[in-house]
Chain A
Amino acid sequence: MGYRAVRFYQTGSFAVGNRLVGSEDRSVQSATRRNNSLSSGHRACQGCGEALGARYVLDAAMEATAGQMVAVNATGCLEVFSTPYPETSWRVPWLHSLFGNAPAVATGVAAAFKAKGRTDVRVVGQAGDGGTVDIGFGCLSGMFERNDDVLFVCYDNEAYMNTGVQRSSATPPAARTATTEAIGDALGNAFGQGKNLPLLAVAHEIPYVATATISELHDLEYKVHRAMTMRGARYLHVFVPCPLGWGSATHDTVRLARLAKETGLFPVFEAEHGEITGVAKIRRRLPVEDYLRLQGRYRHLFEPVARPDVVARIQQLADRNIRRFGLLDGDAENDGHGGACSSPDAARTGEPAP
C-alpha cells in the first residue's frame, strides 16, 4: 500500500495541501475542518517541532477514528506546555499521569473501553524520547508484549528538553547536551551508546511500527491512518527537531527534520509483525554536514577547531543507515517519492478496525 503519492501536480505529495487534487489526496492538515487537537495559546517555544508533530498525529488520528479517540500523555514538554493550570490546549479527551507510565495508562484506558464494549474508541499514548526510550520503556515494552490496543507515539527530539536539555538514550553521538558538554577532550555525547527504539519495537513483533518526520506530512498521516486500521500494539516514532535544545533557528525546524531524513541519519521506515515492509527513499541525498551545521549542539565539530574526523564518523552512521535500510533509489522497490513502500503481504496486517 503506502500512501498514494501524488505526482506531477506542481507540489506533488510534499506540500501540506494541493489545490489541484481531490480532497482524498490532500493531507488532514490542509483541511480547515482539521481538529486542531492542540490548539493555539500553548506555551511551546517558537518553532517547536513537538507541538507540530503532536497536532499532525492527533489530528490524523481523530480523522481516522471519526473523533472517537482518547490521548494519554507522559510528563514532558508536551504535557507542560499544553496544560498549565488554568488553561489546556487540548481539544481531545486527554489524560496525563506520570513521566514513566504513559504506555500502561493507555493500556488501562483501552482496557476500560474494551470492557465497556466501546471498541470504537481508540487510544493514543504519547511521550517524548525520555518518556519513551528511557523512563517509560518498561511500561512500553509491556504494552507491546501484551499487544494492547494502543498506538504509542514517541516525539523524539533527542534529549530531555523540559528539564533543560540533558542527554537521553535517544541523544545522538557528538551532540552537546547539558550532561554531555563539549568540554576538555569530550566532544558531546559518546558514540556507540543509546537505544534504537523503533528497532526494539520491531523486535517485539507488534502489528505495526513506523518512523516518520514532521517534514513529510503525507507520510506521517498515512502511517497514523495505517496504524488506526489495525488492532493491537502499534508504535510510531516521530522525529521532531527542537530549536531550543538543538540550538537551531526557529524557522529551521521542518527543514532539519527533512535533512535528518535526506542525510540518512533518521531512516524512515515501516514494519509489520517484526518485518520491515517499506522504507522512504532519500530523495536528494545530502552530506550530514548540511544537517549538523545548522545546529548549535554540533558547533564544537566546526569551531574553534574543525573536527572533520568526528563529522566523518557521523557520516558513517548515516551511510550505515542507508545501507541497512536501503534508503537510496534503486536499492529495492521504491516509489521514488519519499513515501512508504507497499506492504508485500496485506493479509498479515492485523484485523482491521470496525
Chain B
Amino acid sequence: MARQLEGSRAVAETVARCRPEVVCAYPISPQTHIIERLSTLVGAGQLAPCEFLNVESEFAAMSVCIGASAAGARSYTATSSQGLLFMIEAVYNASGLGLPIVMTVANRAIGAPINIWNDHSDAMAVRDAGWVQLFAETNQEAADLHVQAFRLAEQLSLPVMVNMDGFVLTHAFEEVDVPAQEAVDSFLPRYEPRQVLDPAAPVSIGAMVGPEAFSEVRYLAHVKQLQALDAIEEIASEFASAFGRRSGGLVSSYRSEDARTVVVALGSVLGTIKDTVDELRASGQRVGVVGIGAFRPFPAAAVRHALERAERVVVVEKALAPGAGGILAHDLSTALSGLPLDVHCVIAGLGGRAITKASLLELLGDADAGQLESLRFLDLDRSLVQGELARMAAVRRSGPTAENVLRDAGVVAARLS
C-alpha cells in the first residue's frame, strides 16, 4: 500500500522486511535517517532477530558486516561520502572475500572542501571495488532495489551497493509502496552462504594469494560481475512479476527509440531530464533518455543496444575525474566505440548544485545546434573561476581556494584587513 514516506524511511522499512540479522551504523549525513529508523525497528522488536550495532567508524561498520556475513548472517549498513571513503579498504575486502553485504550509499560529495550535499563522487570513488553498484531514480525504486540487492548479493556471493541521491531522495517525501513482508519473504529466500565460519565444518577464509594465483582470483571477480549482468535483469523481471512494478534492471530507456539525441544519467536527475525531454518532444525535438540502473557491472551491451541508433549522446553526470573528465562518459564511450555517434560529457550537480530544467534545455539546445563541447561543466560560474585563477597567478600565497571562491560569491563576508 502506497504511503507518503520519507525516502530514508521507505528504504529502512524495506531493508527491515529483508530481515537482516546484523545491521551496523555510524552516523553521517545524509544516510542517518535510514539507520535511525532501523535502530527504532530493532529496538521495538519489529525487526528480530537482528543485532543493531552502533560502531565507532564506517571502517568498523563495514568490518562488522564482513564478520557477520562470513558467519552466515544477512548483513547491512548504510553510509555516505567520507564515510564510504573511510571504509574503502573494507569495501574492497568484502568483495574480495565474496561476502553478500548490502549497503545503501546516500550519495554525497567528497571534500575538501567539505560538502554534505548530493553528487556521485562517493560512489564513483569505489567503482572498482568489486561491488555491484545500483542507482535508484526514485524512492520507490530505492526501496525496491534493496529487495533485489539482497537477492542478487546472496545469489552471487557478491556485495551490492544501492545508491540513492542524498537529500534529493533520502529526505524527500514521496508516495512509496513499501514491499509487503510476505511478498519479500517469498521473493528473498533464506540466506544460504556459499562459505561460512562454522565450527562443524571449519575453513580458513581470507588466505594470502601470491602471483601464482592472484590474476586468476581477479579474473574470477570480473567473471562474477559479468554474471551479475544477467542476474540483475532476471531479478528485475522476477521482481516486476512478483510486485507488479518495474524497478531496477541494467538500463531504462525513455522516449529514446527514435531519438537523435539521448541523454544518459544515473539516479534521481533522470526525473528532471525526462521532464525536459517531454518538453522538447512537445516542440518536436527527437530527444530521449537512457538511465543507467547498474553502473557496476557496467552494462556495456545493454547500453550499446539502447544507444546504437542515436546520433548524439549527452552524458549528464554528478561526478568528476579531475584531469580526465567524466567517468560514466568514459565507460560509455568504450561501450559505444565504433558507433557513428558523438559522446558529450556534462559535469553537473556537483556538491548539491541544482540541475534545473532551464539549464538542461539550454544544454540540449546547444547540443542540437552542434555547439556542445565534448566536456562541459553545467552552470559553471566562470567569473568565480577566473578570479581565483588570476589570484593564484598573481600571488604565491593566495590562500585557500574554497574560501576565496565563497568570498567572491558573496557567501561569506570579505575578510577585514
> Are A101 and B209 in contact (CB-based, < 8 A)?
no
Instruction: Say yes or no: B49 contacts A98, CB within 8 Å.
Output: no
**Pair B55/A93 contact, Cβ less than 8 Å:** no
Q: Is the CB of B73 within 8 A of A98?
A: no
Are B73 and A111 in touch, CB under 8 angstroms? yes
Chain A 93-104: CB-based contact to B (< 8 A → 1; otherwise 0)? 111111011001
CB-CB nearest in chain A for B26:
A142
Q: Given A111-B73, A115-B50, A146-B53, A104 and B206 touching (CB < 8 A)? A: no
* B323 at interface, CB cutoff 8 A: no
Chain B residues near A94 (CB, 8 Å)? 197, 202-206
- Residues in A neighbouring B50, C-beta threshold 8 A: 115
**Which one, A84-92, A186-194, A266-274, is touching chain B?**
A84-92
Chain B residue with the shortest CB-CB distance to A142: B56
* Interchain nearest-CB distance for B86 vs A (Å): 10
Contacts of A107 in B (CB 8 A): 53, 55, 60, 63-64, 67
**0 or 1 for each of A126-164: is its CB under 8 Å from B? (1 = yes):** 000000000000110110011010000000000000000
Minimum CB–CB distance from A66 to chain B (whole Å) comes to: 9
Distance A138 CA – B26 CA, assembled complex (angstroms): 14
Quick check: is B69 within 8 A (CB to CB) of the other chain?
A: yes
Contact between A111 and B68 (Cβ–Cβ < 8 Å)? yes
Residue contact A93 to B203, C-beta cutoff 8 Å: yes
On chain A, the residues within 8 Å of B67 by CB distance are: 72, 95, 97, 104-112
Interface status of B199 (Cβ within 8 A of chain A)? yes
A244–B90 Cα gap in the complex (Å)? 30
Indicate if the CB atoms of B72 and A116 lie closer than 8 Å. yes
> B70–A95 contact, CB under 8 A?
yes
B2 at the interface (CB under 8 A from A): no
Residue in B59, B68, B93, B213 whose beta carbon sits within 8 Å of that of A109 in the complex: B68
Cross-chain contact of A112 among B54, B71, B205, B213 (Cβ < 8 A): B71
Interface size class of B (residues with CB under 8 A): 35 or more
Closest Cβ of chain A to B192, distance in Å, is 13
Closest to A114 in B: B51
Hey, which chain B residues are within 8 Å of A110, CB to CB?
67
- Name B56's contact: one of A100, A116, A121, A139 (CB within 8 Å): A139
Q: Does B381 contact A (CB under 8 A)?
A: no
Interface: B253 (CB within 8 A): no
B64 and A104 contact, CB distance less than 8 A = yes
* With A93-B198, A93-B199, A109-B68 as contacts: A142 and B206 at CB distance below 8 Å: no
- Which of these, A68, A85, A139, contacts B207 with CB under 8 Å? A85
Whether B206 pairs with A80 at a CB distance below 8 angstroms is: no
Closest residue of A by beta carbon distance from B207 = A83
Residues of A within 8 A of B72 (CB): 112, 116
Instruction: Tell me if A262 counts as interface (CB < 8 A to partner B).
Output: no
Interface size, chain A (Cβ < 8 Å): 47
B75 part of interface (Cβ distance < 8 Å) = yes
Contact A83 B206 (CB under 8 A): yes
Closest to B50 in A: A115
Bound Cα distance A110, B202 (Å): 16
**Binding site of B, secondary structure by majority: helix, strand, loop or mixed?**
mixed
A105 CA to B206 CA in the complex, in Å?
12
- Minimum Cβ distance to chain B for residue A50 (Å): 16
Contacts of B207 in A (CB 8 A): 83-86, 88, 96
Contact B59 A100 (CB under 8 A): yes
B57 at the interface (CB under 8 A from A): yes
Shortest CB–CB separation between residue A112 and chain B, in angstroms?
3
Residues from chain A with a CB closer than 8 A to the CB of B205 are: 94-96
Judged by a CB distance under 8 angstroms, whether A67 is at the interface is: yes
Q: Judge whether B71 and A70 touch: CB under 8 Å.
A: yes
A138 to B51, CA, bound (A): 21
| CB-based contact A97/B93 at 8 Å | yes
Query: What CA separation (Å) do A112 and B70 show in the bound complex?
Result: 9
B199 in contact with A69 (CB, 8 Å): yes
Chain B 118-130, CB-CB to A under 8 Å as 1, else 0, gives 0000000000000
Query: In the bound complex, how far is the Cα of B71 from the Cα of A158, in angstroms?
Result: 31
**A304 contacts the other chain (CB 8 A):** no
**Residues of B with C-beta under 8 A to A109:** 67-68, 70-71, 197
Across the interface, which residues of A come within 8 angstroms of B24, CB to CB? 108, 111
Determine the distance from Cα of A108 to Cα of B210 in the docked complex, in whole angstroms. Answer: 28
Tell me the complex Cα distance, A70–B67, Å. Answer: 10
Which chain A residues lie closer than 8 Å to B199 at the CB level? 67-70, 92-93, 121
Type the 1/0 row for B36-64, where 1 means its CB is closer than 8 Å to any CB of A. Answer: 00000000000001110111110111011
Interface centre among B61, B72, B197 (most CB of A within 10 A): B197
Q: Are B64 and A108 in contact (CB under 8 A)?
A: yes
Chain B residue with the shortest CB-CB distance to A100 = B59
B384 within 8 A of A: no
A148 vs B202: C-alpha distance when bound (angstroms): 23
Taken together as a complex, chains A and B put the C-alpha atoms of A110 and B55 apart, in Å, by 14
Q: B21 at interface (Cβ–Cβ under 8 A)?
A: yes
- Report the minimum CB–CB distance from B203 to chain A (whole Å): 7
Tell me if A117 is interfacial: C-beta within 8 Å of chain B: yes
Contact between A111 and B57 (Cβ–Cβ < 8 Å)? no
Q: What chain A residues lie within 8 Å of B204 (beta carbons)?
A: 82-83, 88, 90, 94-96
Known A101-B60, A105-B63, A139-B63; judge A112-B209 contact (CB<8 A). Answer: no
Closest chain A residue to B56 by CB distance?
Answer: A142
The reply to whether B90 and A108 contact each other, CB–CB distance below 8 Å, is no
A164 CB → nearest B CB, Å: 16
**Is A205 engaged at the interface, CB distance under 8 Å to the other chain?**
no
Contacts A85-B209, A107-B64, A112-B22: A70 and B197 contacting too (C-beta < 8 A)?
Answer: yes
**Complex CA distance for A148 and B64, rounded to whole angstroms:** 11
Nearest 3 CB-CB pairs, A to B? A108-B67, A96-B206, A142-B56
What are 17 A-B pairs at a CB distance below 8 A? A69-B199, A79-B208, A86-B213, A93-B197, A93-B203, A101-B60, A101-B90, A104-B61, A108-B63, A108-B69, A108-B71, A110-B67, A111-B64, A111-B67, A115-B49, A116-B71, A142-B55
Q: Using A82-B204, A115-B49, A115-B68 as known contacts, list a sample of 16 further A-B pairs with CB atoms less than 8 Å apart, ordered by residue number in A.
A: A70-B197, A79-B208, A80-B208, A83-B206, A85-B208, A91-B202, A92-B199, A93-B202, A97-B67, A97-B206, A100-B59, A100-B89, A109-B71, A112-B21, A112-B71, A146-B53
A-side residues, CB < 8 A to B, are 67-70, 72-73, 79-80, 82-86, 88, 90-98, 100-101, 104-117, 121, 138-139, 141-142, 145-146, 148
Q: Which residues of B contact A (CB under 8 A)?
A: 21-22, 24, 49-51, 53-57, 59-61, 63-73, 75, 89-90, 93, 97, 197-199, 202-210, 212-213
